[in-house]
């Protein structure tokens, strides 16, 4: 739980993340390169005295989450794409998390309306004592009414200082849990909708990692990389492209990353893709639970 000063801090990281999302949304146009958006938006929070809580996630089409551009990523947005922009800011261990979804052609409007309306419906029922499974039931109802399916193995979560994913889990369907929201909790609500099967699995790409612990590694580049990660990214997940200066080549950097994964120094957060290759929409906001309602912090 947060004290009054803690709430002020999460308000601050919430507000800056929301501004960063708006900037990303403004830059996200057909033809725009993902790496340019990521660089500009991550720089936007750094210039203002914050750090990214995690690399800017720019997940496209059947990617639901955790895609961030690689080093020298050439990927550009296409007219037909549906893009999830998910981001958070960090300061002194206080963290935020929010997301928006854009669809340039309007083809996936029903999925986007589904998650946006589900998020609004969830927020309007959140108050102390509400069961997470009742929130999930409402999210599924709204998404289904728009013709989509909720993604069942993704959902919202509590956010505590130094912990972006704490209890309680907030499902996107009625999972039967007895967990209830308590006054003073900060939670992220994140409905996902798809026209696929309603589940995600780990994809083949991974550009986001998190420091776990230092360990013995033999190879020199891997040792240098471990030192840099322990120094600069001890607390929050990082992108491989943030370490571009640490190795002589892209090949040696990715080889060193693999060695650190094998040694247990870092944990991978691979891209999550919809198992039926369906299109995916997401909306996400962070709120503080109050006695008779809730207050949105990512605004």
Catalytic residue flag (residue 86): yes
Class of residue 213 by CB neighbours under 10 A (exposed 0-12, middle 13-18, buried 19+): exposed
Pick the binder of Mn ion from 97, 113, 138, 207 (CB under 5 A): 97
Active site residue 190: yes
Q: How far apart are CA 153 and CA 274, in angstroms?
A: 10
The answer to whether residues 155 and 169 touch, using CB atoms and an 8 Å cutoff, is: yes
Kindly give, in sequence order, each residue whose CB lies less than 8 Å from that of residue 286, ignoring residues fewer than 6 positions away. Answer: 10, 14, 17, 96, 97, 98, 159, 186, 187, 188, 296, 297, 298
Number of residues that bind Mn ion (CB under 5 A): 5
**Contact flag: residue 160 with Mn ion (CB under 5 A):** no
Of these residues, 12, 42, 81, 97, which one is catalytic?
97
Nearest approach in angstroms of CB 19 to Mn ion is 16
Q: Which of 11, 63, 86, 160 binds Mn ion (CB under 5 A)?
A: 86
Cβ closest to Mn ion, residue 181 vs residue 265: 181
Q: Are 284 and 188 in contact (CB under 8 A)?
A: yes
CA dihedral 152, 156, 160, 164 (to 10 degrees): 70
DSSP code, position 241: G
Closest to Mn ion by CB, 191 or 265: 191
Strand 200-202 to 82-87 pairing: unpaired
In the structure encoding, which two tokens stand for residue 154, read together? 């993704």
Catalytic residue chosen out of the listed positions 11, 86, 207, 259: 86
Nearer to Mn ion (CB atom), residue 97 or residue 236: 97
Active site includes 97? yes
Does residue 122 touch Mn ion according to CB under 5 A? no
Q: Which window, 114-122, 185-193, 195-203, 237-245, contacts Mn ion (CB under 5 A)?
A: 185-193
Contact between 236 and Mn ion by CB under 5 A: the answer reads no
Catalytic site includes residue 165 = yes
Residue 188 touches Mn ion, criterion: CB under 5 A? yes
Least distance from C-beta 198 to Mn ion, angstroms? 18
Identify the CA nearest to 103 among candidates 76, 84, 75: 84
Active-site annotation holds for 284: yes
C-alpha atoms less than 13 angstroms from C-alpha of 128 in its C-beta half-sphere: 7
Query: Quick one: which segment of 1-9, 39-47, 147-155, 278-286 binds Mn ion (CB under 5 A)?
Result: 278-286
Catalytic residue among 63, 190, 207, 274: 190
Helix residue ranges per DSSP H, 157-241: 220-232
Which residues are at the interface with Mn ion (CB under 5 A)?
Answer: 86, 97, 99, 188, 284
């Amino acid at each position: 739980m947060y004290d009054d000063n803690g709430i002020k801090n999460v308000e601050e990281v919430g507000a800056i993340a929301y501004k960063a999302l708006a900037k990303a949304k403004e830059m996200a146009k057909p033809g725009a390169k993902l790496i340019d958006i990521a660089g500009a938006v991550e720089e936007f929070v750094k210039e203002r005295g914050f750090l990214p809580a995690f690399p800017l996630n720019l997940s496209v089409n059947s990617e639901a989450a955790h895609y961030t551009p690689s080093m020298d990523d050439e990927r550009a947005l296409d007219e037909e794409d549906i893009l999830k922009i998910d981001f958070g800011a960090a300061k002194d261990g206080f963290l935020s998390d929010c997301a928006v979804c854009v669809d340039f052609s309007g083809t996936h409007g029903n999925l986007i309306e589904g998650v946006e309306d589900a998020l609004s419906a969830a927020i309007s029922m959140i108050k102390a004592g509400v069961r997470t499974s009742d929130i999930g039931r409402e999210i599924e109802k709204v998404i289904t009414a728009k013709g989509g399916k909720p993604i069942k193995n993704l959902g919202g979560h509590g956010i505590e200082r130094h912990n972006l994913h704490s209890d309680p889990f907030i499902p996107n369907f009625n999972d039967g849990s007895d967990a209830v929201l308590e006054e003073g909790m900060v939670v992220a609500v994140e409905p996902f909708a798809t026209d696929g099967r309603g589940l995600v699995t780990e994809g083949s790409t991974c550009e986001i990692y998190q420091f776990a612990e230092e360990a013995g590694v033999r190879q020199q580049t891997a040792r240098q990389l471990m030192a840099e990660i322990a120094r600069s990214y001890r607390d929050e997940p990082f992108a491989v492209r943030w370490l571009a200066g640490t190795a002589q080549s892209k090949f040696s950097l990715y080889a060193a990353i693999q060695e650190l994964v094998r040694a247990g120094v870092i944990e991978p957060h691979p891209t999550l893709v919809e198992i039926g290759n369906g299109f995916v929409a997401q909306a996400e906001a962070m709120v503080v639970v109050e006695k008779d309602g809730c207050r949105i912090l990512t605004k």
